[in-house]
Structure 1
Amino acid sequence: MISKWILLIALIFLVFWLVKRFQRAAKQPPRSEQKVIEDMVRCAYCDVHLPKSESVAGHGQYFCSEAHRALHARAASKEK
């Protein structure tokens, strides 16, 4: 008989604890990760825009890949 009362009290305690936990979680504002705003640059060869950190710099310009940097350099040398 006493074990039934202990089990009932434990169950009621568990339900109140869960309800309180969910209420506390609902009150907290959602975590907003700070987004880093990064400069965008344009590839001098194909005009694709990409983040500056992902670009390849060369001759004062930005490129989307090492291949486009080389192609641009070759085209510039042929023009001269």
Structure 2
Amino acid sequence: MVLRLIALAFIIWLIVYLLRSKDRKAAPDKSESVKIVRCAHCGVHIPVDDAVGGPNYYCSLEHQNADNSD
């Protein structure tokens, strides 16, 4: 009787383990990836949506103005 319970518990554990490992192997969702750019003045990395300017990106208007005044 005890051996049957151990075997049943092992089979249930194996099924759960296989189902969980199948979910982990799924490809990660890359729809939320964000493009990162580098400030041309100070070098800090920021999301492109927060950057100023283009094709040279800046982290702020002050840095864009500082580069344009040179």
- Shorter-chain TM range is 0.3 to 0.5
Q: TM-score, normalised by structure 1?
A: 0.45
TM-score (normalised: structure 2)? 0.48
